[in-house]
Every structure is written in structure tokens, then in C-alpha cells.
Structure 1
Amino acid sequence: MKRPNILFIMADQMAAPILPLHDAASPVQMPHLMKLAEQAVVFDSAYCNSPLCAPSRFTLVSGRLPSKIGAYDNAADFPADVPTYAHYLRRLGYRTALSGKMHFCGPDQLHGYEERLTSDIYPADYGWAVNWDEPEVRASWYHNMSSVLQAGPCVRSNQLDFDEEVVFKARQYLYDHVRMTPDQPFCLTVSMTHPHDPYTIPREYWDRYEGVDIPMPRQHLEQNEQDPHSQRLLKVIDLWDKPLPEDKIRDARRAYFGACSYIDDNIGKLLKALEECGLADDTIVVFSGDHGDMLGERGLWYKMHWFEMSARVPLLVHAPKRYAAHRVSQSVSTLDLLPTLVELAGGRVDDGLELEGHSLLPHLQGRGGHDEVLGEYMAEGTVSPLMMIRRGPWKFVYSEQDPLLLFNLDNDPLECQNLADCSEHKGILAGFLAEARERWDVPAIHAATLASQRRRRLVAEALSQGKLTSWDHQPWVDASQQYMRNHIDLDDLERRARFPQA
């Protein structure tokens, strides 16, 4: 039997709690995603495993926790010998391609993908390494509030340039596949950078929310009420002692909603290409994100914490001929995607290799499944590892430097009440703390993180001197094989290029 094609669509920094996929009152307009969800398995409690771009993505493609593969921050080297879902599927005979962002750092920019159709939007070098040796120094490349203060409509942006190329190249890949290699299954990953800040979007998408009541953040905490990590993040993003105008908060959220609609339109374009090529019935569509965005909730912006807006991601699997549409309430994570994609492709993960992810197939089949998410964060705003366990109604955030956090999300979905100091929940807290200390050797992870930071700073400084040799992926196109060329018979070329053939 022919293995199914897989189209994996990713959005960047898309906060699940505010999407219509999970909130019926959401004003965000995403009709294509909602139509897809009608026949999909939708995960209502899906999380990233590190709330920052590169660590989250390295974990997503590998099924390994960040500390196991050195995915410490946005300038961490992703080792070439770590198997990814692209390696597994390629070994099963799939064409594996990536169009768009994956934020790979280091000289290997493929990691199992046979083709990368675009470059990446972010640099592949070590320039964004975090520095625990100087925790009070605010690096120039950190987020600042310009994204919010300059929020509004635009004609063009860096991110629009990127995503337009990403979607164009992805659609072209589908058209080329059906004309040239229709008998070989493909796994195409399309990874867009919206709705990631800066919060700006073309007038068309800005105007879709004209007259719409843009909901403001539901919870505000004063600086002195914040947990220590949140206080550090306020300094990281240059928001300490700098209150934001309410109208700019509203503008940023409106532009973010518009960017979600932009992603939705691109989802529609990709699904239309599948239909046009006759691939829709044989293609499993997976949609997810890498992390969320606080969008002003609790006075915080961007990501980098374990609160719901930052850590929860959309996740659905559309394969109506295989799995009946339903919702999954148990907590899962993008760590689980590698074993899931391998099994969807008819393979199995190597029992001799370590893997923290768990297959989602039992959930897809309606047979229950695991209910647990593990998270690790060692990047901006930290002075030591910040770990998370999500299970049942509970979310536990563990640090050896900061006070513990414990939330019951069934009773407190906005995470207003930290139950770590509540005598009624001492037993729950003690159990999580014992589990965390057994699971994580924080002093060892701290030492490994610090050593990696120091090595990368030295290498980055050295490589900035003399002749630059870039690690950024350079997509190569052989123009001699494109369009009309004299070494190709014209009638034959036109016949082969037409789909469907006359």
C-alpha cells in the first residue's frame, strides 16, 4: 500500500488560547483552519517543550528534550547526529522537504531534509547565545518594545517577504511533485514566520478587524507582584518601569489577529494546491506551532515563560479517512510529533535510540493515550534552568533559584493563584518537587548550559574576524533546467509541464 503524503504546516508564535480553535468567543478570523478542524483530531491541551524558537523547534523535529541535545537558546548548535523525523521518513522512502523557518544553528542546515526550498529568516550562527556570566547585561539583540510601539498596518515587511516566498515555493513543490514524482510519498514541512512580532500586517488584514472589539489582556500584574522570572523578562524586553500606552497594546493585538488571518489565508492556498493536484485524499495534514505569545497578559510580551499564552500551541491532525474527528483533552506536546509522524508513515522509531516523545496514535485512534508534558527553558531571562511538568489539571514550574509555581488549570485557567504556598496542596507540591529532582540533575544541566554558552561565545568572536563563511542555507536553483531551454524538446517540455496532461 502506498504510504500517505504528509503536509506539516507550522505557524510561529501562535498562542493557542486566543484562537477560535480553542475559544468560541475569539474574534480571530481563521475560516480555513476551522474548516480543516471540522474533520480533524484537535488537541486542546498541546504545548511546546521550550518557549523559544530554536529550542522548541530542535525538540519538535527530534523528539528529544532540550537538555538532551544541547538546545539551550536561539544560538544553540543542533548536532548533525541527532535523528529527526526527516531522517526517519527519508529512510522510509519519502521525499523530505522544508520550505521556511526552522532556525537551525550550526553548519548542518538540512538535518534530514532532502531539500530546503528557502533560506531561513533567522541567522544560523552563534551570535544570539545567552550569557549567564553577565546576567545583568541586556544584550542588544534582545526583544524590545518597538514591536508594540510601532504596531499597525504596513505595505511590506521582512516577514512578509519571507512568508510569501515560503508559500510560493511550497505550492510549486506540490505542483512539481504531481508532475515529476507522483509515485513517491512526500513529507513537506511549510514553516511560516507569522504571527511572530513585529506586530505589523498589510492593510487588508488590518482592515478585517475594523470595528471589531479587540479584547485587551484579561490580567495585569504590577512589577512587584510578578514572579522573579517574569521580573527578569520585563527587563529583558526593556519594559521595566516603562508602562505601555493602552492604544498601542490594542494595536499590537489587532495586528497579531490580522497576522493569524494571514496565516489562515496561506493555509487555504496550500489546501487548494493539494486539491488541484489531486493529492488531498492521500495527504495527512498536520498543523502546529512552536510556542505562543503573551500579548500583554500579566503585563508580559512575547514568550520565554511557562504561562499558557506563551507555552500552549495549536495542534491538529487531519486524516478523515483514517481517524474520526474528535477533540483530545489530555496534555501532549510537540515533542510527540516525531514518533507520531514516523508511525503515520508506516514506520517505527528505533528502539535502540533514546526518545522522550510519545506517539499520538492512541489519541488519534480514540484509545486514550498519555497525559503529560515536560518542559525545559535555559534561555533569555534565566539564571538557571526553569523546568515544567504538566499533567492532569496541574502545571508545576520548577527552579532551584526561583520560588516554585503550582497552578490548577481546571479551576484557574488564567493562572492567577500560585498554590505552591497553600497548605492544602502541600502533598501535590511535594510529589512534583520530588519527581522533578529525580528527573532533572539541575546542577549538571546548569554546568552544561554555561559551558556551551562560553564555547559558543569564543567561537562566534573568532568567526567574526577575517573572511566570513556563512552557515546560512543557500537554496540553489539550476536555471539551465527551468522553463524553455534548447537541450529540451519544446513539445515534450510543454507536455510534461502541463497538469493534468492533455
Structure 2
Amino acid sequence: MIPKFIFPRRVNVFLILLALIVLPVFAQAEEHQASADAKNVLIFFIDDLRPELGCYDVDSIQSPSIDTLASEGVLFERAYCQQALCAPSRISMMTGQYPDHTGIVDLFTPLRKVNKTAMTLPLYFQQRGYVTASFGKVYHHLRDDKTSWSEIPEPPSEKYADPETLAAIARRVKDAKTQKLDVDQTRLAANGPPTECFVTADEGYRDGIVAKQAIASLRKNKDKPFFMCVGFAKPHLPFAAPKRYWDLYEREQFMVPSRQRPEGSPDLAFTIWGELRGYHGIPQQGELSDEMTRELMHGYAASVSFADAQVGKVMAELDRLKLRDDTIVVLWGDHGYKLGDYGLWCKHTNFELDAHVPLIISAPGHTRGQRTKALVEIVDLFPTVASMTGGEVPKSCDGKSLQPLLQDPNQSFKPFALTQYPRGSTMGYSLRNDRYRYTEWIQAGTKRVVARELYDHQDTSTPDRNLAASAEQSKRISRLAEQLNAARRIETTHVKMKK
């Protein structure tokens, strides 16, 4: 017979063990329920997109889908990327950190090659129980950070749809091999033209397929909280899009911009043309003709409208699935772009044209159809979607949440926005305040300022004079230099603390 005093102890032990097993299960169930009730996040990445859209008061560009999104949220008139180059800009956005913090300021370094543990947006939402999905060009290195994604299919790679284009490329490559040309000449032979206008369905080009992949994922994950990034390559070169998007425009409507560079600007401010020189038919030296300039401008506009249509398809599916009221939607461009302005092409500078980007946020329960003139940075996106989905903002983030502006777009936010771009061992740091853009070019070894720029953007995005040498601007330059140096000191301290 079991003594009576033993039984209660066994019951107590049993209850304790039961509690240890059951309570975590209840906790997990509650956590899962909280995740299920959380807002979804859908972010559109648009490559090389200038803030020239219908919603930005540029009537010559047809962008009805993006314009509709702007009418459903807040349009940021003065948003700035942290570097005008795909890889560092996208990594900066995904980490919420300035390029000096990520350590990545070139095109060739994936994030996870140099930092295995950095907190990124997909990792953050993966740890919170979200489905994390990446489609198209999200990171520049497409499968970067791949363990943080629940879904990351191989993106379609074909840039051209016209069989004649593809056949011409194949012939040039064959000829290059027959002639035993060097590596650079062979690579140039393998490049296609900078434009293509071909009669095809949207899925004839990769962005059409990317939209289709994203739509399929929405259908599959409609009952789960998701963090989805959809990256459209257009309007990046080549400006290749179905003919019907070219037909939206007339070639004559495009005006060749002034090729005159700003007076007094240092050589460090400018750049070679970037990737454009690598396309077949583009001269290796000298300016483009007016005819070629208009063709490229036409192709760029057609590519913008093509990308816009893909945004519309994904948004239509979000509506059809009745997910719109549960989803925060963000659309941004990774940097600006030059279309012959100053006689230059592509990005790769600290000029306003390269640093200024489109940004739209449409969030349930927040302001709709409003605009804000507040200065904001792309590093602010990570803390924004973190706070708006009920999460804590990681301490690693340099930006701050834009949620107050989504509630009151008329308030001020930041005194300035920062952008940077390297030239060899010299880094150009650029500060944009309400009116002026101030830039210092600093040598890495000596820390000496070797050149300065000051541009007045009161009335134009392409000022014609560098004011840095003007005696009447000396006090303003001193104040801006102090602000820029203070901002950089904070960054340097942050980097040392992280190490």
C-alpha cells in the first residue's frame, strides 16, 4: 500500500511537468496568433527609376498603376538613397544602415560575403514567423541572404525577346571566338543593343515573369503573414519592353537635355557613363547624337510604363484576394538616373539626379492621397515597416520610422539627408538640406578635403554652377561642413561600437 504522504508529492511533480510541457505550447499558439493578425508587407523595388511619374506631376510619363498607389498612401517628394549604385543602395535599405556601416560601397560585394550575421529585413520577419519571399531583382546579387527567404526562385535571366536580337548576339560571339579576340572585346561582342521594341506578351521579358511569380506566391500564402519583395529590373538598361509600351509615346516629345556641366565643379563630381558604353552600337568615346539620345529617352519611358503595368498586376491580385486592408505596400527606386543630363548617363554620382528617388507608402489605417515635403532617407524604411507591424526596431538600424509622417505628412522630420559615392580612395559625402546640396570629397588616408561642391536647388534639379568657391557662401559652407562632419563622426562612433 502506498503511503498517503507520497501521493500528493507525485501529483505536484506531475502538475509541474505538465505545466512545463503545456505552457510553452500555449505561448507558441498565442505567438502564432499574433503573427497571423500582423500586417503583411509588400515592397516593390524599381531599378534606376527617376522620380518622374504622373504622381510626381510629370504628365509626359504614363504610370497609372503607381499613380493609383500614390492616391492610396503618402508620396514622399524628397526621399534620398544612400548611394547611387544598385548593390550598396539595396543592402543599405535591407539593413537600415548607411554604406559606411555595412562596409559595402561597390557593385561586386554581396552582403553575406562580408557580414554573416547582419540583421536584414527578410531575416527580421523570418524570425517573427512571416513567410519571406523574394522575386526578381531585390538584392543586386540576386540570391544574397538566401537563408533568410522562405521563397527565392531563380529569376528569369533573358534581357531580350526578339529572336533577331538574340541571333545577332550569337553571331558576334561566334565571330569574336573565331578571331580570338581578347576578353574585353569578346565581352563587348556578347552585349546586346541598348534598346529593343518587340511585339510580345509581358512575359516575353523577365519582369512579366517576375510579376507572375509574385502573384502565384500571393495566392499560395494568402492565409499567412508574409513579407514579400518584388524587384522589377526595368527601367534599367537595356531599355527593352513590349512594343505597346513604346507606342504610348512619340519620339518627338523627348527633349534633349543640356549637356553643359555645372560651372566650377570638380572632376571628381562626374563619372564615366557606367554600363551604357558596354551596349552594342554605343560609341566608346564622345557624345551621343540627338537622335540616339531621344531613342534612349523613349526606351526609358517605355520601360517605366512596362514596370508600372507589372506593379498594377500584383496590386490587382492583392485586391482580388482581399488582402489590401491587411498589407503595408512600399514602392521605391534604388537610385536616380541621368538621361543625358550634363551630357552624362546612368548614375554613379552624388548629384541630385542620382540621389533623389521616388518613394510611396500605402498603409491601412494611415493617411491616403497625401504628399510630404519632409526630407527622408531610404535607411528609414526598415524601422518604418518594423514599427508598423508591431515589432521592435533593431538597434542596428541607423534610420528612424516614417510612421509619424504617415499620420501627419506636414510635419518636419530630418534636417538633412546623406548620400555618398567613392572615387577610388576618395569618398564623396553629400548632405542635402531643404535648399542646398553640399558635398565634400575626402581622401581615405589623409582625411583631407580635396574638393567641395555647393548647389542651390531652390528652382532646379540641375543647377548650372558650383557655389563652393563663392565668398558670399563661405558662412553657409562652414555651417554645412560642421553638420556633415558631425553626422560622419556619429557614424564612425557607431561603427567602432559595433566592432
Is the 1:372–1:389 Cα contact (8 Å) retained in structure 2?
A: yes
1:377 aligned onto 2:421: yes
Question: Shift of the alpha carbon at 1:104?
Answer: 5.1
Is the 2:270–2:349 Cα contact (8 Å) retained in structure 1?
A: no
Question: Shift of the alpha carbon at 1:232?
Answer: 4.1
Bigger Cα displacement from structure 2, 307-316 vs 108-117 = 108-117
Bigger Cα displacement from structure 2, 100-109 vs 200-209 = 100-109
Question: Shift of the alpha carbon at 1:120?
Answer: 7.8
Aligned pair partner of 2:148 in 94, 108, 112: 112
Distance 1:120 1:85 in 2: 23
> Given residue 384 of structure 1, which amino acid in structure 2 is its aligned partner?
T
TM-score relative to the length of structure 2: 0.76
Question: Shift of the alpha carbon at 1:241?
Answer: 4.9
Aligned to 2:12: none
Distance 1:306 1:434 in 2: 19
Structure 1 residues 9, 406: closer, same or farther in 2, change over 3 A? same
Aligned to 2:390: 346
Aligned to 1:215: 255
Structure 1 residues 337, 235: closer, same or farther in 2, change over 3 A? closer
1:195 aligned onto 2:239: no
Distance 2:109 2:471 in 1: 40
Q: What 5-or-longer segments of structure 2 have no aligned partner?
A: 1-33, 159-182, 278-282, 444-449
Aligned to 2:311: 267
Q: Which structure features the higher share of helix residues?
A: 2
Aligned to 1:299: 343
Aligned to 1:413: 461
Question: Shift of the alpha carbon at 1:31?
Answer: 0.9
Is the 1:56–1:290 Cα contact (8 Å) retained in structure 2?
A: yes
- Identity, in percent, stands at 26
> Given residue 391 of structure 1, which amino acid in structure 2 is its aligned partner?
N
TM-score relative to the length of structure 1: 0.75
* 1:467-482 to 2 correspondences below 5 Å: none
Aligned pair partner of 2:55 in 7, 11, 21: 21
Question: Shift of the alpha carbon at 1:158?
Answer: 13
Question: Shift of the alpha carbon at 1:403?
Answer: 2.2
Question: Shift of the alpha carbon at 1:258?
Answer: 0.4
How many residue pairs align between the two structures?
A: 417
Question: Shift of the alpha carbon at 1:103?
Answer: 3.4
Distance 1:427 1:165 in 2: 54
Is the 2:251–2:298 Cα contact (8 Å) retained in structure 1?
A: no
Aligned to 2:473: 425
SS for the counterpart of 1:330 is strand
Distance 1:376 1:440 in 2: 11
Is the 2:437–2:457 Cα contact (8 Å) retained in structure 1?
A: yes
Aligned pair partner of 2:208 in 161, 164, 184: 164
Q: What 5-or-longer segments of structure 1 have no aligned partner?
A: 123-138, 449-502
Structure 1 residues 234, 315: closer, same or farther in 2, change over 3 A? closer
Question: Shift of the alpha carbon at 1:171?
Answer: 0.4
Q: Which runs of 4+ in 1 moved over 4 A?
A: 104-108, 146-150, 155-160, 222-226, 234-241
Aligned to 2:302: 258
Is the 2:199–2:242 Cα contact (8 Å) retained in structure 1?
A: yes
SS for the counterpart of 2:246 is helix
Q: Which of the two has higher C-alpha Rg?
A: 2
Q: Could you give the per-residue CA deviations for residues 250-304 of structure 1, whole angstroms, max 9, x where no partner exists?
A: 0000010000100111111001111221112211211111012101111110000
Aligned pair partner of 1:61 in 94, 109, 113: 94
1:85 aligned onto 2:121: yes
* 1:75-474 to 2 correspondences below 5 Å: 75-78=108-111, 79-103=115-139, 105=141, 108-110=144-146, 112-119=148-155, 140=184, 150-154=194-198, 161-178=205-222, 182=223, 184-210=224-250, 213-217=253-257, 219-221=258-260, 227-234=266-273, 241-350=285-394, 353-366=395-408, 367-378=411-422, 381-400=423-442, 402-440=450-488
Distance 2:247 2:355 in 1: 29
SS for the counterpart of 1:417 is coil
> Given residue 132 of structure 2, which amino acid in structure 1 is its aligned partner?
T
